[in-house]
Structure 1
Amino acid sequence: MKFRKVHPWVILFRSKRKRRFTLLAAVLTLFVSAGFVLYQPLMVASGFTSHQICSETFVSGLDPEQVYDERVKPEGAIGLVSHLIHFNVDREKREVTTTIAGLYKTQAVYGEEMGCLLVQKPEDVNLAADAKLNSPVRPPDSLAPEIAGPGVAETSNELLRTAVDRAFTEPKNQPHIRTKAIVVVKDGKIVAERYAPGIGVNTPLLGFSATKSITNALIGILVRQGKLDIGQPAPIAAWQNEQDPRHKITLDDLLRQTSGLALKQTSSGFDPASRLIYLERDMAGFAEEAKLTTVPGTRWAYTDGNYILLSRIIRDAVGGRGPDVKDFAQRELFGPIGMKHVTLEFDATGTPNGANSMLASARDWAHLGLLYLNDGMVGIDRILPKGWVKYSSSQTLNTGYGAGFWINQETSGKAPYGLPWGMHHVPRDAFFALGHMGQFVVIVPSQHLVVVRLGVSHYSDGFIAGADRLVADVIAALQQDGVH
């Protein structure tokens, strides 16, 4: 056998070429792997941008550049890629499109009857427009008395005015407070309110997770009507086999965030909860496929997923379509309690996003607070079942959470995202709806008081300390003025 003699330089060249090829392959593999790993969080960031700008531009009537600068850019890790984010607002088509580095494209479209919808399939573009055809002809008459006149309510209480003004005063150092609206209701009447420039008494503002308290109310109404039982297994078709461990999950477990489902929420973009809100066309369909991580009822774990499942249960109980939900909510809740400027948003299957996506005026949010302050009653009419408010504000395990509301309970348990439990300078009987970036509807039964605070506050404590100070200052001002 003959061996071909190869010059050493040729061997070296081939070796270097092989190394270069191996290095290139490694770089490409790393690039593809990184792209695969980062796909979900970047799509979530893009979807969050499209949806927020769409909702606050077309529902709230705010400036999209301001929304991006205040609401989106400082949010989580979005600032790290903000120089790569490009969004376009098409006012004629009423849609917002976002890309990151020219990729990760998302689109949100606006319809008058369903707010903004994240488009997951091309045909979704028409859903928002079609929803208008199914809207109720006339909203029901309100059962609630007026809590103020048409203009901004003025106060003669200087201490109260100072308390409200302090909550609008920006600190010397960042992060910004950016309070957008405050409404103080004492004994059923607005005694003080203030709004940021460009916002008025009728401006719908995003409540984020304060929306969960609306879902609590809708479930309560269905319980009063005898259509649901919180102690029974959740009526979700995929769980009806008694051999399925999820069959044991009750409505109470979902309301109290003790379902045990693997729907972890970190708001990092990598988590399942972020995926179901921003990447799934059928949010509840995704959530109902989650496996169990713990026995239902034994461990508290906060997640939007539980309230998306409750939202699907509401949808199915009232007719099975988005317009049915809207009609039901308007007829049984929003209309009777006096909420006039409300937009509840939906996914493409007609399931409302009852976890974190309803917009309403600050006065509307105050009407929700009054419903719970008055034990679920509006005048002589019962909206929520007897005992529902007590149930909703009762403690879940060793937490500061009730069932759709946070309670003013000090506990050794760990709150989500490292938030503190409760408000230490506010009466213990207080409970509150809480939303991301500082949305609060605080109910203080012992003071016959409701305080609404809405804003864009990127605070690590969820702005709980700020709300605590506001409510405490309001109570002190009213007491010193002789109003008890």
Structure 2
Amino acid sequence: MSRRAMIRAVVAILLIVTALAFRPDRALQVATGNVALTLCSEVFVSGLPADLVYAQSLAPNPGLRLLGPLLRHKIDRTHRAVDATWAGLFASRATYRGAAGCRLTYGESPKPAVVVTPPSLRRDALAGPSPVQTDNPALIAALDHVFVEPAHPPHRWVRAVVIVQHGKIVAERYAPGVAVDTPLLGYSASKTAINALVGVLVRHGRLDVTAPAPVAAWKDGDPRRAITLDNLLRMTSGLRVEERDTGFDPTSRMMFIEPDMAAYAASRQLKAKPGERFEYASPNTLIAAAIVRQQVGGSRADVLNFARRELFDPLGMRGVVFETDAAGTPIGSTRMLAPARDWARLGLLYLHDGVADGRRILPEGWVAYSTRATLGSDYGAGLWTNDSENANARGRVRGGMPRDAYFASGRLGQRIYVMPSQDLVIVRMGATWSEDFDIEGDLRLIREAIAALEPAPRP
């Protein structure tokens, strides 16, 4: 063999080994799955125009931009499905299933889940059917600042802001095409709903966050048996479940390739001793969500009905759509959709220490537990917190957010801020592609809202 031929052979072998290691086919499958599911949810659940969804929620994604014009999608309005492909290959399909939202399908067309919504006599105390208009000029200016678009990308594309003080909406505003009852995708703000569902089961005495997590796959002698529900909620499980949003990482694979997301997450091995390292990663939440499902009956309908009966209905959250994976587990990391007002209602539950309309939903002390910082981070157990010496928390306090504030936070700027010292909840939903999802804009909104709602101190 000539030297040139040998070099070519070595290069070919290296390319093959690299392809096997990095699995570009999986990354392409992740991309088509992301396109199909996002379009399905925001078109068929949220009711947003398909072109707007693609332009705001998908097109700015750097990874999708790299795939260029070979990444295509088709919306089937007759069957309420979305197909996405790359180069005619790596096809993904997501279908709309009514009250259960959208789901990626794996060669089958799932039937809609049966979801029972019990009648409720609870009166909606937040506001009437129309957006609340304020005559407070300072609040109007604050909302103007939130919705103004920069001259150049990254865009903010704010879709909804709701400001609630003393249990009433004092101001709200929506983007064109978004209404008070439009379900909006919460991304990682969904994790707070899983925190609440775990809390309900703790109050019922059916779960203990300090005990080993009841995962059947973790047998006696398996070091993962040491993982507790607290570790899962606090992202200290030590599992190899990195979240990088690259298409190659375990979280990307879980979200857009694996039909049983929690089983895949639970199959990952340890890289650190449980409880010793904080690493934010959505597979932890999927394992917790699967535990909730198993505790309440095991089926998709069981868990969705439980969530509605024990959490959403008592809070008056009538517009929630909680999407599940093929195994029936709520995708509690990222796939809950709800109107902005309903996200505010979830924030009010935490503001009121787990009590809604005089009824205790979460156990006493649960909010304090959930907002206590984990290790050296500014993350609690399903909520981010300012009650921490972490640099991010200190920066938010310097930026005008109260020290006692905590918040749910999701990709592209889905945030539910809870500020007990101000008796205030602010919801901000959007499709914001800046690196920090416009936290500076949120801090300005919080500063201006507090100044507008509370008299300025005398000099």
TM-score in terms of structure 1 length: 0.89
What residue ranges of structure 1 are gaps of 5+ in the alignment? 1-13
Q: CA deviation at 1:34?
A: 4.2
Task: Map Cα deviations across residues 257-285 of structure 1 (whole Å, 9 max, x no partner).
Answer: 11111101111111001111110011011
- For 1:64 and 1:322, the matched residues in 2 are separated by 28
2:71 alignment partner in structure 1:
85
**2 CA distance for matches of 1:268 and 1:148?**
41
Q: For residue 264 of structure 1, what is the aligned residue in structure 2?
A: 242
Asked if 1:71 corresponds to 2:57, the answer is: yes
1:197 partner amino acid: P
Aligned length, in residue pairs: 456
Conservation of the 8 A alpha-carbon contact between 2:30 and 2:257 = yes
* Structure 2 segments unaligned to the other structure (5+ residues): none
Compare 441-450 and 406-415 and name the one that shifted more: 406-415
Counterpart of 2:115 (choices 135, 156, 160) is 135
Secondary structure of the residue aligned to 1:172 is coil
Partner Cα separation in structure 2 for residue 115 and residue 32 of structure 1: 40
Change (3 A) 1:325 1:478: same
- In the other structure, the counterpart of 1:183 is 162
Map Cα deviations across residues 109-147 of structure 1 (whole Å, 9 max, x no partner): 110021111112x12x1x2x242xx221x4341646420
Task: Report what 1:408 is aligned to.
Answer: 386
* 1:29-50 per-position Cα deviation (integer Å, ceiling 9, x unaligned): 8479548631121111111000
| Distance in 2 separating the partners of 1:210 and 1:273 | 16
Please name the residue that 2:451 is paired with.
Answer: 476
C-alpha displacement at 1:24, in angstroms? 8.8
Distance verdict in 2 for CA 1:73–1:32, change over 3 Å: farther
1:391 has 2:377 as partner: no
**Partner residue of 1:99 out of 85, 101, 104:** 85
Q: Does 1:367 align with 2:342?
A: no
For 1:352 and 1:179, locate their aligned partners in 2 and report how far apart those are by CA, in whole Å: 26
Q: Classify the secondary structure of the residue corresponding to 2:267.
A: coil
Q: State the partner residue of 1:62.
A: 48
Would you say the 8 A contact 2:98–2:112 is kept in 1? no
TM-score by length of 2: 0.94
The structure whose Rg is larger is 1
Q: Give the secondary-structure state (helix, strand or coil) at the position aligned to 1:194.
A: strand
| 2:138 corresponds to | 159
Structure 2 equivalent of residue 449 of structure 1? 424
SS at match of 1:154: coil
Residue equivalent to 2:265: 287
1:379 Cα deviation after fit:
2.4
| Identity across matched positions, percent | 45
Match of 2:405 in 1: 430
Q: Give the corresponding residue for 2:186.
A: 207
Q: 1:139 to 1:266 in 2, by over 3 A?
A: same
Q: Deviations over 1:347-399 (max 9, x none)?
A: 11111101110100000001001111111111221011111111111111111
The secondary structure found in structure 2 opposite 1:432 is strand
* Residues 237, 24 of structure 1: alpha-carbon distance in 2 compared, 3 angstrom cutoff: closer
Instruction: Report the counterpart of residue 23 of structure 2 in structure 1.
Output: 37
Contact 1:51 1:118 in 2 (8 A): yes
CA contact (8 A) 2:100 2:112 kept: no
SS class of match (2:60):
coil
Q: Is the 8 A contact 1:405 1:432 kept in 2?
A: yes
Query: Residue 302 of structure 2 aligns with which residue?
Result: 324
Counterpart Cα distance in 2 of 1:439 and 1:422 = 19
Aligned-residue Cα RMSD (Å) equals 2.3
